[in-house]
């Protein structure tokens, strides 16, 4: 009778539309260089005990390729620090992972904005990464010391279009206990450029895998164009909207404890064009990675609907 009031959430598709739009917070942008770390930080202009995430860029990219996404998260009350290290062709995901941990330390231990206006809770930290950066985020979430930097407890991990790096990434993935949301292209789940299936098998926390059909990992990148002066970020519009809604909803639920967004952490719920892949239907590709490069389909057709090739789940 006097228990916790039940939260009635809008349907998943409405949540996606809501969170694809800018949040209620005004946002400040800062430079991580003031603490000796290249990169950017985005934060609401005010708020106490806010959640915070460190964001890892893709291969040969920087935080500038994700400015709109990072700004969007901050507009929903999430502090975001994005290191700009390891941008060369021989970049190390382990080095970037240590900088992600450093960035989280900055968020929770350094004054952000005007004195007394913004603070981050050390109990509400998470990690997000794209492509190569997804591997760095996985390593940063692992419960082991990296290059002398101790692990930091995180409550959420979000690999976006995760890509394989080195073989020992599997070792670190198995040491992750934080819950995770993986968003991937439906035709690159187990390939030379995508390892979402492998991560789903290895990660130790609760895992949600969702896919987008007919997309590329590069569709998330924000490329400067003349349209930028009109507010267009250069990314593929529908992909960017779907991904920012997914990331925002998942982090608000896992880090901020906002129950109305619980659907984002439910592995059986599809949301708009972002399709859930149920646990029993997650499997390795039939063709090996080299065969896929030669044009062979990743999954063989199967008469059993429960075992159809995984890409069909998102269509």
> How far is residue 115's CA from residue 51's CA, in Å, rounded to a whole number?
18
Q: In the predicted model, what is the mean pLDDT of residues 158-165?
A: 97
**CA-to-CA dists, residue 192 to 150, 166, 311, angstroms:** 31, 12, 16
Indicate whether 40 pLDDT > 90. Answer: yes
Percentage above 70 pLDDT, the chain: 84
pLDDT of residue 112: 81
Q: Where are the domains of the chain?
A: 12-314
Output the six-digit token pair for 98.
């240590």
For 47-58, write each residue's pLDDT tens digit. Answer: 999 999 999 999
Structure tokens at 32: 């991580």
Q: How far apart are CA 212 and CA 161, in angstroms?
A: 10
Calculate ∠ Cα 275-202-310, nearest 5°.
30
CA distance 17 to 273: 11
Number of helical H runs and strand E runs in the chain: 8, 9
Other beta carbons less than 10 A from residue 244's beta carbon: 25
β-strand pairing of 118-130 with 79-83: unpaired
CATH number assigned to the domain with residue range 12-314, chosen from the 4 options 3.10.150.10, 3.10.129.10, 3.40.50.2300, 3.40.50.1820:
3.40.50.1820
DSSP result, 70-130: HHHHHHTT-EEEEE----STT--HHHHHHHHHHHHHHHHHS--SSTTTEEEEEEEEEEEEE
pTM above 0.75, yes or no: yes
pLDDT digits (tens, 9 = 90+) for 209-239: 999 999 999 999 997 653 444 444 457 899 9
Of residues 55, 15, 37, the one with CA closest to residue 220: 55
Q: How far apart are CA 269 and CA 210, in angstroms?
A: 9
- The pLDDT of residue 285 is 60
| Distance from the Cα of residue 176 to its chain's centroid | 15
Phi, psi of 135, deg, nearest 5: -65, -40
Lowest mean pLDDT segment, chosen from 68-82, 92-106, 112-126: 112-126
């Amino acid at each position: 009778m006097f228990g916790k009031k039940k939260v009635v959430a809008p349907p998943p598709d409405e949540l996606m539309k809501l969170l694809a739009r800018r949040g209620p917070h005004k946002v400040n942008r800062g430079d991580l260089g003031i603490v000796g770390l290249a990169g950017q930080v985005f934060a609401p202009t005010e708020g106490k005990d806010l959640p915070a995430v460190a964001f890892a860029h893709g291969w040969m990219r920087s935080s500038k390729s994700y400015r709109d996404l990072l700004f969007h998260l901050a507009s929903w009350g999430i502090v975001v620090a994005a290191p700009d290290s390891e941008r060369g062709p021989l970049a190390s995901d382990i080095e970037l992972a240590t900088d992600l941990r450093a960035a989280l330390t900055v968020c929770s231990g350094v004054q952000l904005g005007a004195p007394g206006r913004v603070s981050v809770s050390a109990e509400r930290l998470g990690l997000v990464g794209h492509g190569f950066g997804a591997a760095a985020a996985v390593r940063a979430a692992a419960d082991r010391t990296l290059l002398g930097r101790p692990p930091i407890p995180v409550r959420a991990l979000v690999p976006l279009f995760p890509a394989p790096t080195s073989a020992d990434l599997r070792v670190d993935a198995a040491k992750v206990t934080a819950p995770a949301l993986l968003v991937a292209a439906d035709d690159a789940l187990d390939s030379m450029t995508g390892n979402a299936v492998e991560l789903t098998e290895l990660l130790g926390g609760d895992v949600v895998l969702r896919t987008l059909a007919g997309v590329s990992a590069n569709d998330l990148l924000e490329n400067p164009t003349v349209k930028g002066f009109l507010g267009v970020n250069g990314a593929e519009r529908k992909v960017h909207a779907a991904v920012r809604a997914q990331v925002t909803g998942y982090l608000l639920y896992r880090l901020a404890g906002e129950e109305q967004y619980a659907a984002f952490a439910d592995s059986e719920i599809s949301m708009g064009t972002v399709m859930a892949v149920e646990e029993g239907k997650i499997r390795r590709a039939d063709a090996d990675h080299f065969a896929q490069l030669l044009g062979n389909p990743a999954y063989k057709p199967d008469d059993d609907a429960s075992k159809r090739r995984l890409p069909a789940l998102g269509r």
